[in-house]
Amino acid sequence: MRWIGFLFAASLTACVASPVSETQQPRLPTPDEVERYVREHWPSYTERSARFAGRASERPNLEGVRAGTCEPYFGGFDCVFFVTVKFSDDQLLEQRLKSYFVRDANGIRETIVLVHEIPRQRQ
């Protein structure tokens, strides 16, 4: 049996099941937009940051954020950014994180990308 992968982007209001042409693609997020989003939504990133640092029981404080790059991806944007976090022992750590963003009337927002594989019928 052969497998074929399908990509679904799920959020509270949108589902993307096929790529959007470049002419329909919304403008890329600016570095300022990404940095502002991460700062304003840091509580949703703390668990991920702690887990990647091997300190899952802690909640690091955000000391700095620097935008990296954003690429168009299935109607949204796959963005890389760098955060500097501080743990309870005052250790500073820089981490590379990624988020998938979509743009709406209020700006950018992070959403979750689910990958679902289904069996492909043999012919």
* Average pLDDT of span 14-33: 68
Write out the residue range of the structural domain in which residue 58 sits.
2-19+27-120
Question: Taking CA 54 as the corner, what is the angle to CA 52 and CA 56, rounded to the nearest 5 degrees?
Answer: 90
Number of domains in the chain: 1
Averaged pLDDT for residues 46-54: 93
Residue 58 pLDDT more than 90?
yes
pLDDT at residue 9 in the model: 43
> Nearest-CA neighbor of 3 among 120, 123, 121?
120
CATH of the domain at 9: 3.10.450
Instruction: Kindly tell me if the per-residue pLDDT of 18 is higher than 60.
Output: no
Query: For the whole model, what pTM was predicted?
Result: 0.70
Is the predicted pLDDT of residue 41 greater than 70, yes or no?
Answer: yes
pLDDT of 109 strictly over 70: yes
Most confident of 15-19, 25-29, 53-57: 53-57
pLDDT per position as a tens digit, 64-89:
999 999 999 888 999 999 999 999 99
For residues 90-114, average pLDDT? 91
d(CA 115, CA 101): 16
- Alpha helices in 9-56, H assignment, sequence order: 31-40, 42-52
How far is CA 114 from its chain centroid? Answer: 12
